[in-house]
Amino acid sequence: MGNDDFDLKNAISGVLVVDKPVGLTSHDVVQVVRKGTNIKRAGHTGTLDPRASGVLVILLGPAVRLSEYVSASDKRYQAVLRLGASTDTYDAEGHITRSVPIDHISEAQFETAMQGFIGEIEQVPPPYSAVKVKGRKAYEMARDGEEVDLAPRRIKVYHLELLEWAPPEAVIDVYCSSGTYVRSLAHDLGEKMGVGAPLVGLRRTKSGRFTLRDAVPLRKLREAFEEGTWYQYLIPAAEALSDWPAVELNLEQMDLIRHGHRIPAEPSDSVMARGINEQGELVALMEYIPDTGEWQPKKVFFA
């Protein structure tokens, strides 16, 4: 799609799905996008560690207001675990705290142990994480040698599958709720088998509705910034929440919504919906009020 036939006014609100390479922080990628697009208002929806690669969803322009909803969506990962050791960071970066033989662990035993982590479970974040304890980040306290006492949180693991068994390494597919630490999952699985299992590789394959198929490798995006053709990768903001139902609004309804007024709704099983105009562009995020059978605008988007 060339620049000529692209409405620039709409171009500055949308989504870029980047395939983040290993070695960069998520913030580094946002900086590359800000510089390349000349749009200061940009943010990612769910941090990927520097050592991890894969799907990083970046919201641009007014679309950043979708962040809290997009960030809360489910994630999918391909994770590589190495059995037979434990580290203080739960990954390959940390100090090894113990090493044990794993000759007695079979593929079947690993599969059985893994099944115990499917469903709604309690998970303690890793001590080396950005979770805050009394206003300080856990990893800062851990680095200073302080005891880090993190509260467990409830997460959901929808699906776990062993993709490859090549001891000491195992590759697993993890489909989970937002807020899940795959490092903690690896650590807990290793502890359950009594041999330890730090995370040595991580690739996010899906974030919300976006998969690696939607993602542009960062080097390709950098080239597109230089050539001025990056708009071809911009996804309309309305698609970021395309698993939500869409309600097409007429001009009268759009006027009511714009001023914060409710509009009548058909009975709905959905708590939230996207209000869109005739062109399919995002106008508002709306909440269903069952008592009155109406849509209440929560966030309104207007050029």
Q: If pLDDT is split at 50, 70 and 90, which confidence band does 9 have?
A: very low
pLDDT in tens, 163-183: 999 999 999 999 999 999 999
Clarify whether 188 is annotated catalytic.
Answer: no
Q: pLDDT averaged over the chain? A: 92
Task: Using CB atoms within 10 Å of the CB of residue 139, give its burial: 0 to 12 exposed, 13 to 18 middle, 19+ buried.
Answer: middle
Which of 19, 49, 188, 214 is catalytic? The answer is: 49
The region of weakest confidence among 128-142, 152-166, 183-197, 237-251 is 128-142
Q: What is the pLDDT of residue 3?
A: 46
Q: How far apart are CA 182 and CA 198, in angstroms?
A: 10
Name the amino acid, one letter, at 243.
D
Report all structural domains of the chain as residue ranges with CATH numbers, in order of start.
8-73+209-239 (3.30.2350.10), 75-207 (3.30.2350.10), 244-300 (2.30.130.10)
Q: Residue 3 has which token pair? A: 């620049």
- Within a 13 Å sphere around the CA of 156, how many CA atoms are in the beta-carbon half? 7
Only one residue has tokens 């929806």, namely 45
E-only strand ranges, 212-253: 216-217, 235-236, 246-248
pLDDT in tens, 75-129: 999 999 999 999 999 999 999 999 999 999 999 999 999 999 999 999 999 887 7
Paired sense of beta strands 136-137 and 132-133, if any:
antiparallel
DSSP secondary-structure letter at 258? Answer: H
Q: Residue 182 has which token pair? A: 């795959």
What's the pTM value of the predicted model, to 2 decimals? 0.89
